[in-house]
Amino acid sequence: MNTQRLSITGLLFCLLLAACAPAARTPTLQTTNTAAQPLALDTAKGEEAGQSAPLPPAAPPPYATAMPFPPMGEAPKELAAAPTTSGYQPALVPQLPAGAPPADNYYQNYGINPFVDAREDHLSTFGLDVDTASYTVMRRHINDGYLPPADSVRVEEYVNYFNMGYPTPASVAFGIYADGAPSPYSGDGTIILRFGIQGYRVAESERKPANLVFVIDVSGSMAQENRLELVKRSLQMLVERLRPDDSLGIVVYGSDARVILEPTSGANRGVILEAIYSLHPEGSTNAEAGLIVGYDMAMRAYRSGANNRVILCSDGVANTGATDPNVILSRIHGYVSEGITLTTVGFGMGNFNDVLMEQMADKGNGFYAYVDTEEQARKLFIDQITSTLQTIARDAKVQVDFNPEVVARYRLIGYENRAIADQDFRNDRVDAGELGAGHSATALYAVQLYPGAQGRIATVQLRWQNPDTYQVQEINGNFNTWDLAASFDQADPRYQLAVVASQYAEVLRNSPYARGLSLYQLRDQAYQVARLLPGDQDVIEFAWLVDRAAQLNPALLQ
């Protein structure tokens, strides 16, 4: 094959294929290497794709003009001027006391993926995840003056919180992107690969009608910290964006469940808002009863061709009725199989049940978000309304086939609770992840190559089901040694962001693969990335969260 080295600052390949879309969405392939041959395709129909116009390389990062790092707790003027997504204004990071967060939150330790010998097992398979709750839970803890519990950290959710800069696929359903560079954290030749999936975007005016049923926890615990009041303000934001062809119903639960609002057209905003204003805390927490009534309402209001979704708003503390997510989901499994998805939105801290909320969303074919501020609610229910409501892929799975002639060993960073048996990659009865319109998902691998080895590093495969036609489709593409950037500093800035965010999560969860890595080093790198991406307020806030975390536990600076 006649190839040349790819631009080290660009995305290194882009493989696109139509799905969940009109017939006009035909397969295409893009690459930054204008001399490269088309990557091999293997789709459900055995189609082949031709080469399209190359992607332009990214501009070199302006390292020569980077300002010096600020002293701990002091904000450089360039970063302090802009407010952050969560509403936190970085003017001066206060000196916060180190300590432990409230002990009555519920998290689960899913373990940490080890390195795998590629000659013993060359396949790595997992379900995609677009949840972001773990990151916002961390932000809430740090702004409260505590480091997050190690068990609350899910690395992939830290990475997926950020815009990874993948181009939106043009006239196709999905793009697969990849790049990689030597790790800045080890001297043993380890490289870090980034594989990204980007779904096509749908204009809000073109999204399907939404048939929404909110199941709202109004138990006594929701009175704390104004949790229910934040839920009400979040719903008020959503009502602003409802269309006349949308409908919204409300079920509440405390000791039992009852209907507050039958499905009502978005044109009747006054009626919906009146129901929202009437909510008040009461009773214990029977989430099972609330979901049963909520799903029954959603099924009665079910509309073919619409986004049929139940949205659970709760602090996750179920103490009456069934409290095991497996038991609760078994009662409503039939509704899920009919296409009614479940989104869970967490509120509050202190007796918060992260495990229940995360597992319920996984098993309900939806996603899990945590709302810690009104700005986060706005992001979820207004800025990302279409991706929140419209699913474009179900049971999306990724399988990475590492070349054992080139790769000595590899490690998937995160996705521990999304693991799928290699033999189940094409078993469509196995549940995986769901993607909304415009959603992206990223996975990082630490990889060690044999010295001097050249050639294919891995083949990346994506398999998913179209939620409208139920057709299963599959695409793949190769990533090679010549596709690697020469150094970490020369890699795409958003690749650098993904790596720094993942390593920050690794430190917080006490990963053995982050030993010797300090928050001070990560703080400097986070500031550097913020300078490379000055218009991204989430990245600016991230740098301040790392700075703040370092102050909370100086031991992690060592």
pLDDT > 70: what percent of the chain? Answer: 79
Q: Are 529 and 492 in contact (CB under 8 A)?
A: no
**What value does the mean pLDDT take over residues 390-407?**
94
Query: For residues 256 and 90, which has the higher predicted lDDT (pLDDT)?
Result: 256
- Token representation of residue 406: 């080139």
Q: Looking at the predicted structure, is the pLDDT value of residue 83 above 80? A: no
- Give the confidence band of 4 by pLDDT, cuts at 50, 70, 90: very low
Query: 321 or 339: which carries more pLDDT confidence?
Result: 339
For residue 282, the tally of other CB atoms under 10 A from its CB is 15
Smallest Cα–Cα separation from 439: which of 486, 485, 392? 392
Cα–Cα distance, 89 to 76 (Å, whole number): 13
- Asked whether 520 and 550 are in contact (CB, 8 A), the reply is yes
204-228: pLDDT as tens digits: 888 999 999 999 999 988 988 889 9
pLDDT score recorded for residue 250: 97
Predicted local confidence at residue 404, as pLDDT: 98
> pLDDT-derived band of residue 477, with 50, 70 and 90 as boundaries?
confident
Write down the pLDDT at residue 556.
53
**46 vs 558, which has greater pLDDT?**
558
Q: Tell me the per-residue pLDDT of 286-303, one tens digit each, with 9 for 90 and over.
A: 888 999 999 999 999 999
Q: Which of 310, 287, 112 is nearest to 211 (CA)?
A: 310
* pLDDT for 322: 67
108-127 pLDDT per residue, tens: 999 999 999 999 999 999 99
Q: Which two tokens stand for residue 96?
A: 């916060």
Greater pLDDT, 494 or 554: 494
pLDDT, residue 244, reads 96
| Cα of 48 vs its chain's centroid, Å | 31
Higher per-residue pLDDT: 224 or 56: 224
Range in 74-83, 117-126, 157-166, 501-510 the model is least confident about: 74-83
Mean pLDDT of 71-76: 45
Q: State residue 263's pLDDT score.
A: 97
Supply the pLDDT for residue 29. 27
Average pLDDT of the residues of the chain:
81
At residue 448's C-alpha, the angle toward residues 443 and 451, to 5°, is 145
* Domains located in the chain, CATH noted: 13-57+167-196+391-488 (2.60.40), 58-112+509-558 (no CATH), 208-388 (3.40.50.410)
Farthest-apart Cα atoms in the chain, separation: 70
Rounded-to-integer distance, Cα 245 and Cα 209, Å:
6
Residue 554 is predicted with a pLDDT of 59
What percent of the chain is predicted at pLDDT more than 90? 54
Strand partners, 213: 249, 310
Q: What is the mean pLDDT of residues 466-481?
A: 90
The predicted pLDDT at position 557 comes to: 47
- Residue 248 pLDDT > 90, yes or no? yes
Helix-then-strand count for the chain, H and E: 14, 18
Helix axes 269-277, 227-241, angle to 10 degrees: 180
pTM of the entire structure? 0.84
Contact 407, 458 (CB under 8 A): yes
Residue 3 has pLDDT above 60, yes or no: no
Mean pLDDT (whole number) for 74-100: 44
Position 70 pLDDT exceeds 80: no
Query: Does the pLDDT of residue 96 top 70, yes or no?
Result: no
Residues β-bridged to residue 215:
251, 312
The confidence score (pLDDT) of residue 45 equals: 29
Using 50, 70 and 90 to split pLDDT, how confident is the model at 160?
very high
Across residues 88-101, what is the average pLDDT? Answer: 45
pLDDT, greater one: 22 or 510: 510
Q: Give residue 1's pLDDT band: very low, low, confident or very high (50, 70, 90).
A: very low
Q: Which are the contacts of 356, defined by CB distance < 8 A and separation ≥ 6?
A: 106, 287, 316, 318, 323, 325
| pLDDT level of residue 428 (50, 70, 90 thresholds) | very high
* Cβ neighbours for 125, distance < 8 A, ≥ 6 positions apart: 397, 398, 399, 400, 419, 420, 421, 422, 424, 425
What lies within 8 Å, CB to CB, of 29 at 6+ separation is: 14, 15, 16, 38, 39, 41, 49, 50, 51, 52, 477
Provide the pLDDT confidence category of residue 246 given band limits of 50, 70 and 90: very high
Residue 270 has pLDDT above 60, yes or no: yes
